Amino acid sequence: MNDSVMRRPFGKSHGCRFGEHIDLNDLASSDIELLNAAQLIRKHRPGAYIFAQGDEPQGIYCVASGYVLLGRIGAFGDKIAFGVVGPGEIMGYRSYFAGDRHAATARALTECRVCLIPGRAMNRLLDRNTTLGHQFLATLARDPGPPDGLLLRAHHVPARVRLVTLLLILRDRFVVTGAEDSVEFDLPIGRRDIAALLAMRPETVSRTIKELEDDGIAIFSDRHVVVPYLGRLYDIAGLDRLN
Amino acid sequence: MNDSVMRRPFGKSHGCRFGEHIDLNDLASSDIELLNAAQLIRKHRPGAYIFAQGDEPQGIYCVASGYVLLGRIGAFGDKIAFGVVGPGEIMGYRSYFAGDRHAATARALTECRVCLIPGRAMNRLLDRNTTLGHQFLATLARDPGPPDGLLLRAHHVPARVRLVTLLLILRDRFVVTGAEDSVEFDLPIGRRDIAALLAMRPETVSRTIKELEDDGIAIFSDRHVVVPYLGRLYDIAGLDRLN
DNA sequence: AATCGAACTTGACCAAGATCACAGCGCCGC
DNA sequence: GCGGCGCTGTGATCTTGGTCAAGTTCGATT
């Protein structure tokens, strides 16, 4: 990758509008100077990686020109793209603010120029300027972010795994007895709501519960659940692929 | 609903910890007084609605005790629950910060006490206290939020609808010609990436494209797309159910 | 030109889960 | 008690889209 690095004055002219909801006009000129001094603009050719899943976030990226594809690799090795970022839009901010490693990979779709606002500069701006903070809150709140949790998985992951995952979540909250490796708890919701939570039909919930009972993984009496070997739940939720 | 309203001093003791990532210890005592004065605590019985999809957000809710089920009704009338909120956790903040109406419905699962921090007080706190702002940024960044967009729909919505939705999204960005009701544009990505975006297989993309062509809805030549009647795309993406 | 390979298409088959239909069952009001 | 209603379990069938296995096209490399 012969991506080149260069500096350019910050302003509306070069395309870094910072997305729809963030308006640089709200920045004081001293803030804009800070941006100018701190930003790094890089040029990428199609296919180049701008950042990759697992990387430590360096700051916030803003696409000046061209298009970028966001994707991620799920817990099961499923590759999924979930967004296209175009001129004037920002990316990478979710992981940055969360303080986690990047949950997504950004790959140049076309030739493109991307500028990076280093985290240090970003934080200084946010402390000076509460309006900018409000705008970022709004931007984050509107952006659904990378698909994760039950939902994405819902697509490729069998019903049994989804159900077991839900059991693990509810276990924490509604435990009755927690001896050794076995657990006993009460579901706060009926089959109907379980079905809704897992995006499937009540009938399928019934059948899947029966499967779990047949396999000795959990015993259900109405809303009461007994799990003899908690480890098995983790096995199923973690990586099935085998069974 | 005989949900009662009452006031209580704000502090760690009554369970309003504001979620994992937000620590009220960071607030100055004057800020805490502000919270005490502004908050409204309500008691709800199981099944009661705390807020409903489409409501105008009043502020941010914090569950003091009990459990709340979050759900939403999709564009197609599909009811889906997507989370359970327990003691010390906050909810409703996404819509509040986004400035949109609530995208979800919160229903009491058990008897519960929920306190509401009105928006006005919230904003004042945020302006005084940039640390709190950072904490909310982190909270928002970590919270996947209500499932929406292509992904949730992916589950119940047929491949054809997902593909058409993608076409509508890409149309905006890559238009070549935009006469009257017909459009012509170039896809920035290949079939493989389309498949990844829509969480399906390249084979299925091919087949679905063929269907669309057979139905005269769009004509594909490699990456070039011609849509004679744009309205039809909206029909398919908006509410199929008929076809 | 010959070949290789990547991206795409097409067809046959299969499996998971949705749908439809119906039967228990508990609960509530009368 | 009786009758209805909503939730739940069970069975039969169907549809969607994933999987596997060949082709096809096209561009790049030698």
**Cβ of A203 less than 7 A from strand C:** yes
Give me chain B's average pLDDT, please: 79
Q: Where are the domains of chain B?
A: 5-146, 150-238
DSSP symbol at B156: H
Share of chain B above pLDDT 70, in %: 77
> Per-residue pLDDT averaged across A67-84, rounded?
70
Rounded to a whole number, what is the distance in Å from the CA of A214 to chain B's nearest CA?
A: 27
Half-sphere exposure of A62 (CA within 13 A, CB side): 24
Among A118, A113, A91, residue whose Cα is nearest residue A4: A113
Cα torsion through B228, B232, B234, B238, rounded to 10: -160
Backbone angles phi, psi at A96, to 5 degrees: -60, -50
In the complex, which nucleotide's C1' lies nearest to the CA atom of residue A210? D9
Its pTM stands at 0.71
Mean pLDDT of chain A: 79
Interatomic CA–C1' length for residue A203 and nucleotide C21, angstroms? 13
pLDDT of residue B7: 45
A176 to chain B, any CB pair closer than 8 A? The answer is no
pLDDT of B95: 92
pLDDT at B146: 67
pLDDT in tens, B125-151: 888 888 888 888 988 888 876 665 444
Looking at the complex, report in whole angstroms how far the Cα of residue A86 sits from the nearest Cα belonging to chain B: 8
Nearest residue on chain B to A197, judged by CA atoms? B81
Q: Which of residues 5-64 of A touch B (CB under 8 A)?
A: none
- CATH topology for the B150-238 domain: Arc Repressor Mutant, subunit A (1.10.10)
The token pair at B173 is 């960005």
Q: What Å value separates CA B222 and C1' C1? A: 27
pLDDT band at B180 (very low <50, low <70, confident <90, very high): confident
- H or E, element range at A212: helix A202-214
- Which residue is listed with tokens 């076309």? A110
Average pLDDT over residues A59-68: 89
The reported pLDDT for the residue numbered B87 is 83
Q: How confident is the model at residue A1 (pLDDT cuts 50, 70, 90)?
A: very low
Mean pLDDT of A158-170: 86
Q: Does domain A5-145 have CATH number 2.50.20.10?
A: no
Tokens describing residue A21? 């909801």
Average pLDDT over residues B90-94: 91
Q: At B235, which helix (H) or strand (E)?
A: helix B230-238
Q: Helix-strand-coil percent breakdown of chain A, rounded to 5?
A: 40, 25, 35
pLDDT tens for B28-50 read 677 777 777 788 888 888 778 89
Q: How far apart are CA B136 and CA B126, in angstroms?
A: 9
Q: How far apart are the first and last CA of chain A?
A: 42
Work out the average pLDDT over B163-185. Answer: 81
DSSP string, A86-117: -TT-EESHHHHHHTSPPSSEEEESSSEEEEEE
Per-residue pLDDT tens over the stretch B54-83: 899 999 999 988 888 887 765 555 566 677
CA A46 to C1' D23 (Å) is: 30
Give the containing element (helix H, strand E) for A68.
strand A68-73
How far, in Å, CA of B137 to CA of B21, rounded? 10
B5-146: CATH class: mainly beta
pLDDT in tens, A2-60: 444 444 444 444 446 666 666 666 666 777 777 888 888 898 887 788 998 889 999 99
